[in-house]
Structure 1
Amino acid sequence: MAIAAHDAADRVDQLIILTERLTALIALGAAAFEQRRPHEAAQYVEETSRLANLYRHESTRVRANPALIESAPLARRVALTRATEAFDAVLARQGRALEAARTITEGLVRAIAEEVASQRTENAGYGAAGAIQRTDAPTSITLNQRA
């Protein structure tokens, strides 16, 4: 999918609209994570993904062929630059919010795993032959160190 523009000014205007909409969606998702309500960010994932793919495609086209926007009015190109700067700032904000959420999640998983492990050793006793005898039922837990 690509932007169908009539001329350079139209392309720049469409890129500004695309960038501003993508920025707004990512900001909403970042706010949801910052407010510790990541489930609310899920509603933006599909549109964000679609627009991000279009943005990637169009920015690659413009980078490869700057003539696509060179003849657009300077004021519109400056507006596109400002929209792109705002987009970059929101991406950085989202990155910090996601990193915080990941850190919290890892901490919770680690705390749960440590509690399970401590309870397993508390229930261990020695049998008649001196071997450790477990009185609890087997329990499994999987930890992904990269999550």
Structure 2
Amino acid sequence: MTELAARNGNERAEALLRLTARLTELIQSETRMFQRRRPQDAVALQDEKSKLANIYRAEVARARAEPSRFAGASPAAKQALRQVTESFHAALAENSRAVTAMKIITEGVVRAIADEAARQRNTGNGYGPGAAQRPQRTGHVSIALNQTA
């Protein structure tokens, strides 16, 4: 299903109002999970969020192409739809900030791990100020065989 079930503009506005409110709730829940550094918990929301987002996108595109789809909607329904849409956009902005913060944190952790691994590979051989750097191993090993036996 990618279209709201409605017989007239008022029912369509009410259905889009419910859909947008639920989508906003899901986005806000996901944002809280990200802020608590528990993105794995948000996986459970993805299926419903994806389905609702697809219906929302399709319905908004239809409304832009055919504004008469909401003809007959009450002024109260139109006003409520404006308000829930503003809340939805605010929730999306907050979610975007949380996702960006998680990305920065994750990249920092990965960079720190890589830097530490590189540092450990380049640890000097020996003690004191004159200690030589150990040559980097490339995976090749030289061996000598003594054939006296």
Q: Would you say the 8 A contact 2:124–2:133 is kept in 1?
A: no
Amino acid at match of 1:105: T
- Asked if residue 98 in structure 1 is aligned to residue 99 in structure 2, the reply is yes
In structure 2, relative to structure 1, the CA distance for the partners of 1:132 and 1:35 (3 Å cut) is: closer
Amino acid at match of 1:113: A
TM-score normalised by the chain length of structure 1: 0.84
Secondary structure of 1:133's match?
coil
Measured after TM superposition, the shift of residue 119 of structure 1 is 0.7
Q: How does 1:80-99 map to 2 (within 5 A)?
A: 80-99=81-100
Q: Which residue is equivalent to 2:14? A: 13
Moved over 3 A (4+): 134-138
Q: Which residue is equivalent to 1:133? A: 135
The CA distance in 2 between the partners of 1:50 and 1:20, in whole Å, is: 14
The structure in which a higher percent of residues are strand is 1
- Asked if residue 30 in structure 1 is aligned to residue 31 in structure 2, the reply is yes
Q: Would you say the 8 A contact 1:8–1:72 is kept in 2?
A: yes
Measured after TM superposition, the shift of residue 78 of structure 1 is 0.6
Measured after TM superposition, the shift of residue 136 of structure 1 is 9.2
Q: Would you say the 8 A contact 2:17–2:80 is kept in 1?
A: yes
Q: Would you say the 8 A contact 2:12–2:70 is kept in 1?
A: yes
Q: Would you say the 8 A contact 2:30–2:45 is kept in 1?
A: yes
Amino acid at match of 2:93: A
The CA distance in 2 between the partners of 1:27 and 1:135, in whole Å, is: 50
Q: Would you say the 8 A contact 2:125–2:133 is kept in 1?
A: no
Measured after TM superposition, the shift of residue 134 of structure 1 is 3.6
Which ranges of structure 1 fall in alignment gaps of 5 or more residues? 139-147
Q: How does 1:116-131 map to 2 (within 5 A)?
A: 116-122=117-123
Amino acid at match of 1:75: A
Q: Which residue is equivalent to 2:114? A: 113
Q: Would you say the 8 A contact 2:9–2:70 is kept in 1?
A: yes
TM-score normalised by the chain length of structure 2: 0.83
